[in-house]
Structure 1
Amino acid sequence: MQFATITRTLGLLIMIFSLTMIPPSIVALIYKDGGGSAFFATFVLALISGFFIFLSKRQAKNELKIRDGFLIVSLFWTVLSLIGAIPFLLIGEYSLSFADAVFESFSGITTTGATVIVNIDELPHSVLFYRQQLQWLGGMGIIILAVAILPMLGIGGMQLYRAEIPGPMKDSKLTPRIAGTAKSLWYIYVGLTIACAFSYWLAGMSAFDAIGHSFSTVATGGFSTHNDSIGFFQNDTIEMICILFMFLGGINFSLHFFAVRKLSMTPYLKDTEFRVYTLILLTVGLIGAIILLIDYNYSSFYEAFLHTLFHTVSFATSSGFATAEYYAWPLAVSVLLIFVSFPGGSAGSTSGGMKVIRIVLLFKQGFREIKRLIHPNGVFIIKLGKESVNDKVVNSVWGFFATYIMFFVILMFILLSQGLDQVTAFSAVAASMNNLGPGLGEVAQNYSSLNDLTKYVLSFAMLLGRLEIFTLLVLFTPYFWRK
């Protein structure tokens, strides 16, 4: 373990994160809302802390190994979330308790979108902007940003990239150099954000709301500047724009890269995961619309389908935006929305969940086992399109799925032991581990009613889901620390 290099890199990343306190400080000056001092104080504290951590090991420049990458990513997301909680503790009359501040920060940076704040509309503009910005930074990952803009992280940057990027196949690069890959991903991310903000503004949002919601839409985070989320605007065009950019955020960004480079839709159409992802959204949206037409008060198929498709895309991509009181819909639809968050979006996207590609591989492996029962001596290869999938990848998917279920059950029992009912406990863990945000029962609107221990447990679940379990769990194994 290169502890000196890890310390140096961590200090450098903290200094980078301190710069994110400047934009909300500027917003506070523009709107004169009194929130600037909280963000400036956090900026100074983070910058000085990061500088001294970096300075203590400034000469350490050894190449990062795989284990080093796991430790840096896990440490940084934890430290980043704790530093991100500081402004919430310092915002005067709107200040939160420590547990609430940590929960809100973890929720923001992991793009979960769960909140403990009851009256969002009353928050200062600087705090509203900060919440949206947290999600935008967490969407692509600030570590990938660091790899993109700091050549000094080029050595060993692949280890950070592998630990950070979501999905079962982490070794693919879009460009020969990993820094080039990170830059390409961020160019696409920024481009989508600008397009989303401009579209929202043209559709009728204010410039502030358009920018803020573009941050959380492309990041599939779900934080909003209003209590009623996207439903606040009562605008079908805004809802359709939101559907489009949530959908795009849930697609593997490498497909965006190749589509832009070739100026063709072919990369999307040829991708198995994209086709399954699209099919899931349309199927669930259609089923939900039919149920609402039969058992709820929607009078037209258009209205029912628009609302169910919006919430289906929102939940499947782990965005968590809402346009209606989905928790008041027939239970079959509400539960279906929670379940569609388990596959989530595509690998290499900003979405949470287990990722569609893993579900595809699980089904293919299950079908292969059925064929082996019929032909015990047969050799069956799992393919995605025309490419065969290495059995190591398939085995890792099974391991991920088993570990996910095990931790889901453990965390759910912890919540049940805190007195929560089954629906609330199940949906809260699902919403946290899948980085979804809204749940059912007590957590349908916000998480303010939960006790501090439950909030800490769910914050851990958010981090577990954001780092896709193994990146975090590997630190708790004795094998990781052996020389």
Structure 2
Amino acid sequence: MQSQLIIRILGILLMIFSVTMIPPIGISLIFGDGGGGAFFSGFFISLFTGLLLFLPQKNLKGELRNRDGFLVVVLFWAVLSLFGAIPLYLSNIPEFSVADAVFESFSGLTTTGATVIRHIDELPHAVLFYRQQLQWLGGMGIIVLAVAILPMLGIGGMQLYRAETPGPVKDSKLTPRIAGTAKALWYIYLGLTIACAFAYWGAGMSIFDAIGHSFSTVAIGGFSTHDKSIGWFDSSQIELICTLFMLISGINFSLHFAAVRRLSIQPYGKDPEFKGYVTIIAIVTLVTALILIIKAGSGFSKAIGDALFHTVSMATTTGFATEEFYAWPIFLPALLIFASFIGGCAGSTGGGMKVIRFLLLFKQGSREIKKLIHPNGIFKIRIGNTVLSENIIEAVWGFFATYVALFFVFMIILMADGLDQVTAFSAVAACMNNLGPGLGDVAANYADISDLAKWILSIAMLFGRLEIFTLLVLFSPAFWRS
């Protein structure tokens, strides 16, 4: 284990992160609400700590091994979330404990969108902006940005990219060099954010709200500058814009890159995961609309609008809301929560288990049925025209089994802490899937659960963001053997 090199990288990344606390200071000066002091302190604490880690190893150069890359990614997300909590804790938010600050920071950077804050509208503009910014930075992963500049510092970045990028297949690159891949991803990400912000602004949002909500929309985060989320604006045009950009951001970014490069929408039509993604959302939307019309007595247009918005929001694991969906009739709240288990496409900013894994599990189940009928038959699993190796299928099954086991452990701990079954189940689902809103006692926010539950759910968010194995591998004795 190259501990000195890892410490050097962590110092660099922490210094980079400290710079992100400067914009909230500027926002505080613009609005004059006195919220900048906490970010001034957070900036110097993060910068000083980063320098303290970096300077003793400043002349050290080397190439990361795969094992080192996993440790850097986990340390980076964990440490960054802890330091990201500093300005939140120092902001004098009412009834805000250390556990609350860490939970909110983890929720922001992992793009979960769960909050422990009750009166969001009353927060200083600096805090509001910072929460939105955390989600934007976490959306694509700050490490993907970092690998574009780490090679210039004498550090190879491919190991970081493989450990960070979501999805079951992690070796594909958009460009020959990893730095070019990171830049390509960020150009697309930045372009979508700018387009979303202008669309929101044109639809009637203030510039502040437009920028803030574009951050959390493209990041599939779900944080809002208002307690009522997108519903605060009471605008069908804003809801439509939000739905469109959530839908786009839940698609594999490599498809966006291919479409832009070819100036064609063909890459989307040829991708099996995209087809599955659209099909799942269409089915859930249709079911939700029908139930709202039949059981809730909603008008046709309102039912379609509410169903489409909340299905896209929950299925992509964004977590925005315009209505109290947890009060909808019969099984609809549970249906929307279960949609988040599938999540967005691999290579998107969405959470959940990813559509591609769901498709592979479905195909594997179908294959097992065929084997029962034809025991001597040989059946291959295909995605499009590609025959997948058994290693990938085994990896998907391993991921699913580990996900279920961890889910069970987290849920049992929360129930032992005093939460009821519905609250515990939905809270773990919302955090592991990086969704945000839950049911029961966490439907509105997570303020009333215990500090222990907040720490456990913060860990669940990290497992979800790093897709379980990146973090779980650190608990293997073989990982630490030299």
> What is the TM-score with the length of structure 1 in the denominator?
0.98
Aligned mates of 1:236, 1:170 — CA distance in 2: 38
Instruction: In structure 1, give the amino acid aligned to 2:459.
Output: F
1:301 partnered with 2:300: yes
**What is the RMSD of the two structures over their aligned residues, measured on CA atoms?**
1.1
Corresponding position of 1:21: 21
Q: CA deviation at 1:378?
A: 2.5
Cα gap change, 1:331 to 1:270, in 2 (>3 Å): same
Paired residues of 2:288 and 2:332 also in contact (CA < 8 A):
yes
Corresponding position of 1:461: 460
Q: CA deviation at 1:60?
A: 2.4
Aligned mates of 1:155, 1:390 — CA distance in 2: 32
Alignment of 1:442-461 (within 5 A): 442-461=441-460
Match of 2:114, SS? Answer: coil
Instruction: In structure 2, give the amino acid aligned to 1:447.
Output: Y
Instruction: In structure 2, give the amino acid aligned to 1:278.
Output: V
Q: CA deviation at 1:95?
A: 7.1
Moved more, 145-154 or 161-170: 145-154
Corresponding position of 1:429: 428
Corresponding position of 2:239: 239
Instruction: In structure 2, give the amino acid aligned to 1:200.
Output: Y
Aligned mates of 1:329, 1:377 — CA distance in 2: 49
Match of 1:341, SS? Answer: helix
Corresponding position of 1:167: 167
Cα gap change, 1:368 to 1:481, in 2 (>3 Å): same
Paired residues of 1:128 and 1:225 also in contact (CA < 8 A):
yes
Deviations 1:242-268 (A, max 9, x none): 000000110000000000000111000
Q: CA deviation at 1:295?
A: 0.7
**Unaligned stretches of 5+ residues in structure 2:** none
Aligned mates of 1:36, 1:400 — CA distance in 2: 43
Alignment of 1:181-260 (within 5 A): 181-260=181-260
Q: CA deviation at 1:153?
A: 5.8
Aligned mates of 1:174, 1:87 — CA distance in 2: 37
Alignment of 1:395-410 (within 5 A): 395-410=394-409
Corresponding position of 1:390: 389
Q: CA deviation at 1:372?
A: 2.1
Q: CA deviation at 1:461?
A: 0.3
1:368 partnered with 2:336: no
Aligned mates of 2:186, 2:12 — CA distance in 1: 19
**Identity, % of aligned pairs?**
67
Q: CA deviation at 1:479?
A: 0.7
Cα gap change, 1:93 to 1:117, in 2 (>3 Å): closer
Aligned mates of 2:293, 2:157 — CA distance in 1: 52
Cα gap change, 1:78 to 1:210, in 2 (>3 Å): same
Paired residues of 2:423 and 2:442 also in contact (CA < 8 A):
yes
Paired residues of 1:315 and 1:338 also in contact (CA < 8 A):
yes
Deviations 1:88-122 (A, max 9, x none): 11113547210100110000000000000000000
Instruction: In structure 1, give the amino acid aligned to 2:429.
Output: A
Match of 1:251, SS? Answer: coil
Cα gap change, 1:177 to 1:282, in 2 (>3 Å): same
Moved more, 300-309 or 240-249: 300-309
Paired residues of 2:228 and 2:321 also in contact (CA < 8 A):
yes
Aligned mates of 2:150, 2:473 — CA distance in 1: 27
Corresponding position of 1:58: 58
Paired residues of 1:113 and 1:437 also in contact (CA < 8 A):
yes
Match of 2:112, SS? Answer: coil
Instruction: In structure 2, give the amino acid aligned to 1:42.
Output: G
Deviations 1:379-400 (A, max 9, x none): 2221111111121111100000
Corresponding position of 1:122: 122
Corresponding position of 1:156: 156
Aligned mates of 2:72, 2:108 — CA distance in 1: 20
Corresponding position of 2:311: 312
Aligned mates of 1:68, 1:294 — CA distance in 2: 56
Q: CA deviation at 1:416?
A: 0.8
Aligned mates of 1:44, 1:69 — CA distance in 2: 27
Cα gap change, 1:53 to 1:272, in 2 (>3 Å): same
Match of 1:342, SS? Answer: helix
Deviations 1:192-218 (A, max 9, x none): 000000000000000000000000000
Deviations 1:201-238 (A, max 9, x none): 00000000000000000000000000000000010000
Aligned mates of 1:48, 1:453 — CA distance in 2: 30
Instruction: In structure 2, give the amino acid aligned to 1:476.
Output: F
Aligned mates of 1:332, 1:37 — CA distance in 2: 46
Aligned mates of 2:8, 2:423 — CA distance in 1: 42
Alignment of 1:32-43 (within 5 A): 32-43=32-43
Q: CA deviation at 1:432?
A: 0.4
Instruction: In structure 2, give the amino acid aligned to 1:11.
Output: G
Paired residues of 2:93 and 2:123 also in contact (CA < 8 A):
no
Alignment of 1:274-293 (within 5 A): 274-293=274-293
**Unaligned stretches of 5+ residues in structure 1:** none
Paired residues of 2:150 and 2:156 also in contact (CA < 8 A):
no
Cα gap change, 1:94 to 1:36, in 2 (>3 Å): farther
Paired residues of 1:88 and 1:101 also in contact (CA < 8 A):
yes
Q: CA deviation at 1:369?
A: 1.7
Aligned mates of 1:468, 1:95 — CA distance in 2: 32
Alignment of 1:321-400 (within 5 A): 321-400=320-399
Aligned mates of 1:264, 1:301 — CA distance in 2: 34
Corresponding position of 1:79: 79
Deviations 1:413-470 (A, max 9, x none): 1111111111111100000000000000000000000000000000000001000000
Aligned mates of 1:482, 1:394 — CA distance in 2: 28
Match of 1:323, SS? Answer: coil
Paired residues of 2:344 and 2:350 also in contact (CA < 8 A):
yes
Paired residues of 1:88 and 1:95 also in contact (CA < 8 A):
no
Moved more, 460-469 or 142-151: 142-151
Corresponding position of 1:477: 476
Paired residues of 1:154 and 1:178 also in contact (CA < 8 A):
no
Aligned mates of 1:45, 1:479 — CA distance in 2: 35
Cα gap change, 1:162 to 1:79, in 2 (>3 Å): same
Length, aligned pairs only:
482
Aligned mates of 1:237, 1:419 — CA distance in 2: 42
Alignment of 1:76-115 (within 5 A): 76-92=76-92, 94=94, 96-115=96-115
Corresponding position of 1:417: 416
Paired residues of 1:2 and 1:62 also in contact (CA < 8 A):
no
Cα gap change, 1:19 to 1:95, in 2 (>3 Å): farther
Paired residues of 1:147 and 1:153 also in contact (CA < 8 A):
no
Match of 2:342, SS? Answer: coil
Aligned mates of 2:77, 2:384 — CA distance in 1: 35
Aligned mates of 1:9, 1:176 — CA distance in 2: 23
Aligned mates of 1:369, 1:319 — CA distance in 2: 34
